[in-house]
């Protein structure tokens, strides 16, 4: 097994250069994470001056536009998405990881709570599910709320 890692590191160095070697080292050490993310803390809950129906409709519209497949539970006012691939498939080589995100959204009255969990598939390490990447979640949350704001102010 160790020979496979050494061979993968060597081939990766030849094919893609030093940046990929750093990523492979991060992957093996458990420090790899999805691209992007922001340090700014975006609150998971946001309140709106609108009706529950308008907030729910705008939320579903934003999820549709962002390409999520979701299931809504009207009895609990929750929305859970199917995993959505974050990694560009054309950039994933034979060595590396792909990340997907699952959203958990709750609409209560005029407030909405947005949480994200991530799944990771790796060609070098064991895949993981329901991982937290706070910086990536903050980035996704900021984009989601910005789109929701646009829908509710138009």
Q: What is the reported pLDDT for 1?
A: 52
Beta bridge partners of 131: 118
89-114, pLDDT tens digit by residue?
665 555 567 889 999 999 999 999 99
Q: Determine how many CB atoms are found less than 10 A away from the CB of residue 149.
A: 14
Distance CA 146, CA 105 (A): 15
- The dotted CATH code for 34-153 is 3.30.530.50
The answer to whether the beta carbons of residues 131 and 142 sit under 8 Å apart is: no
Q: What is the reported pLDDT for 39?
A: 93
Q: What is the reported pLDDT for 121?
A: 84
Distance CA 119, CA 41 (A): 21
List of residues 6+ apart from 12 with CB closer than 8 A: 20, 21, 24, 93, 95
β-strand pairing of 97-108 with 128-131: unpaired
Distance CA 116, CA 137 (A): 6
The answer to whether the beta carbons of residues 127 and 120 sit under 8 Å apart is: yes
pLDDT at residue 22 greater than cutoff 80: no
Confidence of residue 143 (pLDDT cuts 50, 70, 90): very high
């Amino acid at each position: 097994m160790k020979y496979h890692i050494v061979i993968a590191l060597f081939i990766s160095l030849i094919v893609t250069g030093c940046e990929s070697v750093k990523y492979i080292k991060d992957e093996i050490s458990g420090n790899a994470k999805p691209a992007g993310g922001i340090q700014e803390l975006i609150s998971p809950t946001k309140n709106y001056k609108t009706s529950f129906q308008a907030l729910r409709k705008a939320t579903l519209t934003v999820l549709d536009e962002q390409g999520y497949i979701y299931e809504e539970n009207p009895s609990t006012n929750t929305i859970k998405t199917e995993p959505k691939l974050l990694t560009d498939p054309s950039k994933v080589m034979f060595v590396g990881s792909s990340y997907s995100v699952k959203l958990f959204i709750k609409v209560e009255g005029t407030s909405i709570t947005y949480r994200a969990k991530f799944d990771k598939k790796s060609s070098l390490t064991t895949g993981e599910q329901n991982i937290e990447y706070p910086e990536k979640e903050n980035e996704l949350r900021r984009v989601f709320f910005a789109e929701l704001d646009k829908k509710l102010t138009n």
